[in-house]
Structure 1
Amino acid sequence: MTSAAQVERQVEAIRARGHRPAVIVGLLSMYTASGEAVPSRGLVRAVQALGLSESSTRTALSRTQAEGKVVRERDGRRTSYLLAPATRAGSEAERDRMLATAAPAEQPLSLVAFSIPEAQRDLRHELRAQLSAAGFVSLFDGLWAATRDRAGHARKLLSDLGVESGCVFRAEVDAPEAAPFRIAGPEVARHRTRLAEFLELYGPLRGARLDAAQAYQVRSGLSRDWFALVDPHPALPPSLLADWPIDEVRDTVRELWAATAEPGGRHFGELTAD
């Protein structure tokens, strides 16, 4: 059992990572029912408890409302906010993805292979940047992959940039269990490091006793950190990630998400009570 002192250190480390204004949408999605409005003063307090200032929170509320993600209601001098239906649907779909019990099904890879000399290093840098933006990840030097069918996009990219030595193809991983190998691309290596850091932060809290305020911090942090972990990175086939701690990350997310639901929701209710 994790000690109370270590729990407090872990929770403070989670809080110290900070939140972006988008946390407003996350809180309303996590803790309110469809059509349920939260008084603005209470919502500001709930966001402030996560470390944002009052002025930043009110600015973010105005911006989020202008973008149509939340709806503002007025009753005399009382102002409340509720999540827009389309925003709620998108948040619920993201949450389903976060709590999925299985890895994505294996799909053929879109692969781009190229060789660009050092004299054209600016071109090489530009190609890498645009491949990354298109959802590709570097497997090895000069070999990039995406799980979605991005072959057509990659061909156009090579043509538009004038890359003379390059090709695009679709392929499957052949018998990885018979000949396992490590992906050498630096971006993939960094992603594996981020997985380990995620477990360092949240792993010790599995089975720990959390009070309501701590559960509120952990649940909010889980949503923030999980999406930051997976969104910049394409879902590579499980066969390429056999020795990665992905299953442990999924188990940690699901366990802590369930454990923090009731106490986190109770604390949100206390913060938002008008």
Structure 2
Amino acid sequence: MPSPFDIEEIYPDEAPTPRLPRRQAGTSPQSVAVTLLADYTLRTRAPLPSAAIVELLAETGVTSAGARTAISRLARRGVLEGSRQGRNSFYRLSRAAAADLSAGGSWIVASTVDPQAWDGCWTVVAFSLPQDRGTQRRALRGQLRWLGFAPLYDGLWISPYELGEPARSRLAQLAPGAVTVFRGRQDALDVTGQRAPVDAWDIAAISAQYEEFLRRWTPLASRLESVDGPAAVRARTEVMDTYRRFPTLDPRLPLELLPPGWLRRPARDLFTAVYDGLAEPAQRHVRAVVARFADPVPPGIQAHTTADMLAGVREDACGAGLE
């Protein structure tokens, strides 16, 4: 599943092989740089002066040395493309990174919409890998997390939704001959202490994450008109950085399996209010910072909204065009 963060950020013992850089403990300069470029140049892949990127990262607390190191590493990994105009260096998202980020953004927004009615069936993935194949086991578990599965038991993972053919092929490639997939209804046993399938998810912990998100961002949502400049960019980056974990924590679990008053929709509405509400002042500030280092300012610095993300942000006529 395309995403600008690594599954290890949420589940440290499970790691797929992401195309984009994983975040370390705390705030990673590389992830902040990717988020900034995605939030304001994804549609056009506009090149920004490296000095402007360094300045924007400095406003989030990243040192100049840390920012330059992050840019260099992103370029080596193929996430950024570099160019020169005179004595100045410019960087933009690579086409592959932009495509991944566009798909990832659409996934983030779509995955937090309440699902359609559930048919009561479960998809079960069973696998058996020996302990000496730990890397393969972690890759498989990480891929299952991206697909919305959770472990009911160590080698038995479940999801309320069907597994599409591309996902089936991916699992088969990760563990050939060691995976079985089937779908059906739970056959309840008349015994005390039977583990329900939904117990594969820590519902209380997910609920606490939603509650913390609402506590953190509700006060800001009531005063968005007073947020401008660096504060608008920082808040918009941080709210995205936090919210984008929810599709993995709560993979559209059917509401009938969840406690009354589940906070998925309030969290999504709050994210939309903050992210979209700060788009204009944040865009204005990013353009002002770029103007200090480039004359004329590169065209195509434009914030996108959650509606754009849901549709899949694509390059417009100013860009090279994403396939």
Q: CA deviation at 1:240?
A: 2.3
Counterpart selection for 2:124 from 111, 114, 126: 111
Is 1:191 the equivalent of 2:202? no
The aligned runs of 1:2-21 (5 Å cut-off) are: 18-21=27-30
Kindly indicate whether the alpha-carbon contact (under 8 Å) linking 1:70 and 1:84 is maintained by their aligned counterparts in 2.
yes
Q: CA deviation at 1:37?
A: 1.1
Match of 1:3 in 2: none
Amino acid at match of 2:95: P
What's the % identity of the aligned pairs?
A: 28
Match of 1:21, SS state, is: helix
Report the Cα distance in structure 1 between the residues aligned to 2:97 and 2:49, rounded to whole angstroms: 19
Report the Cα distance in structure 2 between the residues aligned to 1:21 and 1:211, rounded to whole angstroms: 24
Kindly provide the CA deviation profile for residues 73-121 of structure 1, in whole angstroms up to 9, marking residues without a partner as x: 112211011122232232223223334483344474313699xxxxxxx
Amino acid at match of 2:273: E
Match of 2:244, SS state, is: helix
Amino acid at match of 1:212: G
Report the Cα distance in structure 2 between the residues aligned to 1:228 and 1:21, rounded to whole angstroms: 17
Is 1:69 the equivalent of 2:79? yes
The aligned runs of 1:123-138 (5 Å cut-off) are: 132-133=141-142, 134-135=144-145, 136-138=149-151
Change (3 A) 1:18 1:54: same
Q: CA deviation at 1:219?
A: 0.5
Q: CA deviation at 1:38?
A: 0.7
The aligned runs of 1:1-274 (5 Å cut-off) are: 18-32=27-41, 33-100=43-110, 102-105=113-116, 106=118, 108-111=121-124, 132-133=141-142, 134-135=144-145, 136-138=149-151, 144-146=157-159, 147-149=161-163, 169-171=182-184, 183-185=198-200, 187-208=202-223, 209-231=226-248, 234-241=251-258, 243=260, 244-272=262-290, 273-274=292-293
Kindly provide the CA deviation profile for residues 188-223 of structure 1, in whole angstroms up to 9, marking residues without a partner as x: 432222222211211222222323322211110122
Match of 1:111, SS state, is: strand
Q: CA deviation at 1:51?
A: 1.9
Report the Cα distance in structure 2 between the residues aligned to 1:60 and 1:132, rounded to whole angstroms: 29
Report the Cα distance in structure 2 between the residues aligned to 1:160 and 1:35, rounded to whole angstroms: 41
Kindly provide the CA deviation profile for residues 26-79 of structure 1, in whole angstroms up to 9, marking residues without a partner as x: 211211251421110111111121122222211111111112211101122110
Residue segments in structure 2 that go unaligned for 5+ positions in a row: 1-25, 132-136, 188-195, 294-323
Amino acid at match of 2:33: I
Aligned length: 240
Report the Cα distance in structure 2 between the residues aligned to 1:160 and 1:95, rounded to whole angstroms: 32
Report the Cα distance in structure 2 between the residues aligned to 1:172 and 1:27, rounded to whole angstroms: 44
Report the Cα distance in structure 2 between the residues aligned to 1:129 and 1:190, rounded to whole angstroms: 22
Amino acid at match of 1:217: R
Change (3 A) 1:186 1:109: closer
Amino acid at match of 1:30: D
Following TM superposition, the consecutive aligned residue runs of length 4 or more in structure 1 with deviations greater than 6 angstroms are 128-131, 140-143
Change (3 A) 1:26 1:145: same
Report the Cα distance in structure 2 between the residues aligned to 1:62 and 1:200, rounded to whole angstroms: 37
Name the larger-Rg structure: 1
Change (3 A) 1:68 1:24: same
Q: Normalising by structure 2, what TM-score?
A: 0.60
Report the Cα distance in structure 2 between the residues aligned to 1:20 and 1:104, rounded to whole angstroms: 34
Q: Decide which structure has greater helix share.
A: 1
Residue segments in structure 1 that go unaligned for 5+ positions in a row: 1-16, 115-121, 123-127, 162-166, 175-180
Q: Normalising by structure 1, what TM-score?
A: 0.70
Kindly indicate whether the alpha-carbon contact (under 8 Å) linking 1:18 and 1:50 is maintained by their aligned counterparts in 2.
no
Q: CA deviation at 1:265?
A: 1.2
Kindly indicate whether the alpha-carbon contact (under 8 Å) linking 2:221 and 2:274 is maintained by their aligned counterparts in 1.
yes
